Amino acid sequence: MILKNCTLIVVVYASTLLQFSCGNSRNQNSKQTDIESPAFKEKLVDANKKYVKRESDEIDQYVKHKGWQMVTTGSGLRYMITKKGTGPSPQTEQKVKLNFKISLLDGKLCYSSDSTGAYEFIVDKSGVETGLHEGVKYMHVGDKAIFILPSHLAYGLIGDEKCIPARASVLYELELLSIK
């Protein structure tokens, strides 16, 4: 019993000492690198702009290599309608149903409705990729389209932790089946 109490006292004392020492070094480090400083934020913004520009250039080269005539939106989404449908276009809060194939630009197929079935989501409400919400509004029921989503409109800095890596541009082949 005495040994357990002594062990407990030592553990509490050590954790308290560790907490204070880490707190002091953190305060010293924050003086050296202040992530709230305007200079740090400016460097971060510049680095992200350079990455977005490089990714955009890579997508443009891919599109040029394929010989595609794609529309580029202000957000960076590239899209091309490959087959015209005759139905209406989806609006915010409408449920859409799509056949899809999702690939990386290197051609690796990641996901397909051939194996999972058609996909449904509510436009501008469901937790799907931002670029998919934007792009589907350019379609009509019956349309087939190709979208290229830069990483910031797709799976972002992390990827999906399964098939799509971090900071990956993603190619969608879509067919808008219906709107509800």
CB neighbours of 71 closer than 8 A, spacing ≥ 6? Answer: 78, 79, 80, 138
3-state secondary structure of 136: helix
Residue 33, pLDDT score: 62
Domain locations in the chain as residue ranges? 44-179
Please report, for residues 12, 83, 132, 178, the alpha-carbon distance to residue 86 in angstroms, rounded to integers and kept in the order given.
Answer: 71, 10, 20, 11
Q: Cα–Cα distance between 14 and 8 in angstroms, integer? A: 10
Which token pair is 150?
A: 């830069």
User: What letters, b where the CB count within 10 A reaches 16 and e where it falls short, cover 104-119?
Assistant: ebeeeebbebeeeeeb
Ordered mean pLDDT values, 10 residues apiece, the chain (180 residues): 39 43 48 75 85 94 97 96 96 96 96 95 92 96 98 92 93 97
Residue with tokens 């954790």: 15
Q: Are the beta carbons of 180 and 94 closer than 8 angstroms? A: yes
Residue 66, pLDDT score: 97
pTM of the prediction?
Answer: 0.76
CATH architecture observed for domain 44-179: Roll (3.10)
Residue 8, pLDDT score: 36
